[in-house]
């Protein structure tokens, strides 16, 4: 390891490393953009001298990102960004081969924040977040670290919201790039990634037939749209609940039924929340659900299903399958909660497929490179990625799939700029 920082780790079981390495290789075979960036970076070492603390789901795709950051010359320390999303075999492989990592599946809240603290021992020059817990820890507990930080990146919608609110308050102490807002992130990862991986999580936790089921999606943002699309693809009748009139209207024009959660709660067979807001499913909804209803969440935080409410109206709880708990209500009906209300796609399945994470993490990697180069000159604000980067990533992806696209001719370029030509 090319590091000056002493590598230390805490993971569940190092003997799982060979299995983790095989999974990482599998992901690498599906992530051509990352592999191309890695090959280039090995020659130019754009992150040489950088120390990166990362807080992002420990999956095989994340391992590909970590390996690429290291190939580019960075030292890396890592923690997971959700107590249930860490894959222990991947954590073991990373601990043996690559980095300081503090992550295991099923951490409690105290261990979760302990792990973040441990990653900061690297004295980072860059932070990489998914949900903003790391950056928030720097700001609240170690503000003195900000002076050494070139910048940070943020992966997800919820984290970007949090950081924009901090920037608005003048509380942000170093520049951050909103990876989520790249077109090659939100238009692919959030829609197709969340759609497929959330359905995958539901199926692994339940193995129910989706055909003919009433599938209620709360929130018709990009993630909700993906869930609705994939559930319909498997034959479910999709119902959407929303608070934003335009989003609700889009759902209507896509052919989904739109109604309030009060109404949907009575007819749904399966519920998934994708809103980023708390208290989407509360006591009165649980109480009005049909016998056997299944509820889960795919939003970043576990506040969308109010499980305290559910507990208060339940008389018993038991695990009936991995990631599937049966609540027997005082009214006699049973409600099944998947993955304890945490991200069902990462806790009950493996997260988004490698092919979409390829583009999301290409943005992460290029964001790190940009900050290493220019971070010290940037004001402490939230920055978008360069739109040219989106096109470049999409083009590499197309080429790696063996596809070519047309180019504008000179005459067409001229036409595009010529506002005088009309009918």
* Chain contacts with ligand ADE (rule: CB under 6 A): 56-57, 59, 61-62, 193, 197, 346, 351-352, 357
Query: Please, what is the minimum distance in Å from the beta carbon of residue 239 to ligand ADE?
Result: 25
Helix (H, G, I), strand (E, B) or coil at 176: strand
Query: Please, what is the minimum distance in Å from the beta carbon of residue 286 to ligand ADE?
Result: 27
Query: Please, what is the minimum distance in Å from the beta carbon of residue 144 to ligand ADE?
Result: 30
Query: Please, what is the minimum distance in Å from the beta carbon of residue 156 to ligand ADE?
Result: 8
Q: Between 126 and 172, name the residue whose CB sits nearer to ligand ADE.
A: 126
Q: Between 149 and 357, name the residue whose CB sits nearer to ligand ADE.
A: 357
User: Longest Cα pair distance anywhere in the chain, in angstroms?
Assistant: 73
**Alpha-carbon torsion (163, 165, 168, 171), positive or negative:** negative
Which one-letter DSSP state was computed for residue 159?
Answer: H
Query: Please, what is the minimum distance in Å from the beta carbon of residue 138 to ligand ADE?
Result: 21
In the bound complex, which residue of the shown chain has the CB atom lying closest to ligand ADE? Answer: 351
Q: How far apart are CA 37 and CA 32, in angstroms?
A: 9
Query: Please, what is the minimum distance in Å from the beta carbon of residue 418 to ligand ADE?
Result: 44
**Residues linked to residue 241 through DSSP beta bridges, in sequence order:** 218
Which one-letter DSSP state was computed for residue 4?
Answer: S
Q: Between 225 and 352, name the residue whose CB sits nearer to ligand ADE.
A: 352
Q: Between 62 and 184, name the residue whose CB sits nearer to ligand ADE.
A: 62
Q: Between 91 and 145, name the residue whose CB sits nearer to ligand ADE.
A: 91
Q: Between 87 and 288, name the residue whose CB sits nearer to ligand ADE.
A: 87
Query: At which residue do the structure tokens 């990482």 appear?
Result: 24
* Strands 314-321, 324-329: pairing kind: antiparallel
Q: Between 112 and 286, name the residue whose CB sits nearer to ligand ADE.
A: 112
Query: Please, what is the minimum distance in Å from the beta carbon of residue 419 to ligand ADE?
Result: 43
Judge whether 292 and 336 are in contact, CB under 8 Å: yes
**Residues linked to residue 356 through DSSP beta bridges, in sequence order:** none
Strand ranges inside 256-402, DSSP E: 257-258, 270-273, 293-297, 314-321, 324-329, 334-338, 382-383
Judge whether 160 and 84 are in contact, CB under 8 Å: no
**Residues linked to residue 239 through DSSP beta bridges, in sequence order:** 216, 257
């Amino acid at each position: 390891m090319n590091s000056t920082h002493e590598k230390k780790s805490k993971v569940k079981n190092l003997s799982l490393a060979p299995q983790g390495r095989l999974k990482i290789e599998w992901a690498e075979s599906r992530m051509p953009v990352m592999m191309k960036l890695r090959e280039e970076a090995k020659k130019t070492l754009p992150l040489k001298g950088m120390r990166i603390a990362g807080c992002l789901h420990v999956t095989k795709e994340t391992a590909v990102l970590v390996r690429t950051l290291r190939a580019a010359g960075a030292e890396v320390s890592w923690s997971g960004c959700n107590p249930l999303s860490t894959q222990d075999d991947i954590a073991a492989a990373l601990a043996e081969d690559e980095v300081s990592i503090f992550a295991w599946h099923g951490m409690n809240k105290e261990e979760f924040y302990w792990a973040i603290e441990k990653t900061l021992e690297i004295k980072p020059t860059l932070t990489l977040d998914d949900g903003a817990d790391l950056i928030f820890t720097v700001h609240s507990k170690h503000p003195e670290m900000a002076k050494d930080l070139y910048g940070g990146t943020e992966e997800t919608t919820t984290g970007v919201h949090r950081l924009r609110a901090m920037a608005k308050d003048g509380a942000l102490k170093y520049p951050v790039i909103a990876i989520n807002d790249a077109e090659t992130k939100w238009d692919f990862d959030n829609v197709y990634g969340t759609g497929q991986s959330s359905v995958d999580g539901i199926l692994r936790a339940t193995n129910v037939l989706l055909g003919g089921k009433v599938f209620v999606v709360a929130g018709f943002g990009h993630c909700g749209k993906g869930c609705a699309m994939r559930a319909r693809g498997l034959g479910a009748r999709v119902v959407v609940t929303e608070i934003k009139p335009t989003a609700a209207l889009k759902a209507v024009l896509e052919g989904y039924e739109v109604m309030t959660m009060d109404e949907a709660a009575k007819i749904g067979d399966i519920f998934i929340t994708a809103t980023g807001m708390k208290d989407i499913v509360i006591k009165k909804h649980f109480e009005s659900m049909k016998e056997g209803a299944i509820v889960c969440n795919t939003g970043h935080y576990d506040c969308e299903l109010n499980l305290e409410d559910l507990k208060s109206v339940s008389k018993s709880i038991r695990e009936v399958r991995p990631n599937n708990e049966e609540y027997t209500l005082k009214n006699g009906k049973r409600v099944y909660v998947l993955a304890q209300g945490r991200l069902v796609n990462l806790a009950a399945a493996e997260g988004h497929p490698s092919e979409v994470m390829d583009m999301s993490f290409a943005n992460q990697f290029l964001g790190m490179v940009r900050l290493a180069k220019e971070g010290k000159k940037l004001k402490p604000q939230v920055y978008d990625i360069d739109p040219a980067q989106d096109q470049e990533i999409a083009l590499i992806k197309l080429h790696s799939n063996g596809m070519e696209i047309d180019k504008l001719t000179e005459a067409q370029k001229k036409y595009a700029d010529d506002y005088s030509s009309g009918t």
